[in-house]
Structure formats: C-alpha cells, structure tokens
Homo-oligomer: A and B are copies of this chain.
Amino acid sequence: MGRREIDISGLTKQRKAVLSVVRDAGEHLTANDVFMRARVILPSISFATVYNSLRFLKDEGLLKEIHLGGGPVQYDKLTSRHDHAICDSCGRVVDLHLEIPNSVTAAAENASGFRTKSFELILRGLCSDCRE
C-alpha cells in the first residue's frame, strides 16, 4: 500500500557503494564503518557523501537507522519492523523479531494522542558472553 517503488539501478555510484557496504555487512555498522568500507570500493568518496547517502537511503526505505543509548547511530540492512537487545557490558546489539500485540500499540497511541509511524522495543541487559 502506497509504498513507492525504488529503482536501485538509478542510484549514483556513491549511493550504490554505500548500500552495498551495509548489505554486505554481517552486523550493524556506524557511519564511520561505512565510510571506511565504502572507500575500499570508491576511494574518492567523501565523508559527507556517506552521511548524505545514508540519509537518502534511509528516507527511501532501503536501510534503517538504529539509535541506541550512548554510541553512534548504526545502520541496518534489515528494513522490516523489528526490535533490538543491547548488552550493557559489551555493547553487542542483537536483532529481535517480537510480536508486539496490537493492544499495546493501541494503548500507546491512545495514551499519547500520537499517530504511530513506527515503534520498537529495546531490551537492555547482559548477553550470554558477558554473564560468564
């Protein structure tokens, strides 16, 4: 419904490089990580272009920004709705695919008076490694 079609082939080579860096990464990347890796593909790419491209690609729905306490913003190739767990000790971030009941989001809309665009549950705790 209403979701605009994206023509990836029409992206500039810089945007294609940035997108492929995020898509090829096994984990979430910071803007700086993306910059480092994009330079391997396209040595002349600038820092600002990486930021611009990440914003553009996010606005187009081709990738997702994740904002978690403390550190820098991370970029995620997984664009469908999902949640995150963060380890308080080592900072590891894990994707979670939780079913949040409609009753919860309905209550949230109701209580806030907001029109929901997205929602996310964030769990903070200790990962299995950090618990010993």
The residues of A with any CB-CB pair to B shorter than 8 Å are 65, 67-70, 73, 83, 85, 87-88, 94, 96-101, 104-105, 107-109, 111-128, 131
Contact = CB atoms under 8 A, between A and B. Distances in A.
A40 B108 CA distance: 37
A118 B124 CA distance: 5
A86 B1 CA distance: 24
State how many copies of this chain the complex holds: 2
Contact of A125 (B115, B120, B127): B115
A75 to B, nearest CB: 13
Given A117-B126, A128-B113, A69 B67 contact: yes
B121 A100 contact: yes
Contacts of A115: 125-126, 131
Nearest to A113: B128
20 contacts: A83-B108, A85-B114, A94-B111, A94-B114, A96-B108, A96-B112, A97-B111, A98-B104, A99-B107, A101-B104, A108-B123, A109-B123, A112-B127, A115-B125, A115-B126, A117-B125, A118-B123, A118-B124, A120-B122, A122-B122
